Amino acid sequence: MNISRKEFFRQSLRSLGEAVVTVGDALKAPVALPIEIRDQDDFESSPREDLVAMAHNEQCLARSCGCFSCAERCELEAVKIIPGVGIRINQQLCNGCGICQYVCPVEPKAVVLIPR
């Protein structure tokens, strides 16, 4: 295949531009859904010994952006933040009150109550 030097450089610059646009589109931040922040004052927590909190870290904002709502609200300090991973729940300390699930700002919830 014979092409001129001028055409060679033109095609090279075009392909470089296409690569930059493709990579640029891939690096754009995903569109964030509106987040509803709930306050603990709207929730009456009562301990339930038959329930325990369980984390779903694939939805948890704590693993990437620093959401600490569940850990800040847990009076028993059963919820711990692990950077890059999400949250861990100490099931021996958890009393099943559900405040962590209530204040979780994502849908589906990153913290849910399950039977012990």
CATH number of 40-115: 3.30.70.20
- Spatial distance between the Cα atoms of 114 and 23, rounded to a whole number of angstroms: 42
Q: How confident is the model at residue 2 (pLDDT cuts 50, 70, 90)?
A: confident
pLDDT at 32: 56
- What per-residue confidence (pLDDT) applies to 36? 56
Q: What φ, ψ does residue 114 adopt, rounded to 5°?
A: -130, 160
Other residues' Cβ atoms within 10 Å of the Cβ of residue 50: 8
Strand ranges, E, within the chain: 51-55, 79-82, 86-89, 111-115
37 pLDDT exceeds 70?
no
Q: Using the 8-state DSSP alphabet, how is residue 97 labeled?
A: -
- Confidence (pLDDT) at 35: 53
Q: What is the pLDDT of residue 26?
A: 62
DSSP 70: H
Query: What residue spans define the domains of the chain?
Result: 40-115
Burial 99-115 (b: 16+ CB within 10 A, else e): bbbbbbbbeebbbebee
Tell me: the pLDDT tens digits for 75-98?
889 999 888 888 899 999 999 888
pLDDT at 1: 61
| pLDDT tens digits, 42-76 | 566 677 888 889 988 888 888 877 788 888 888 88
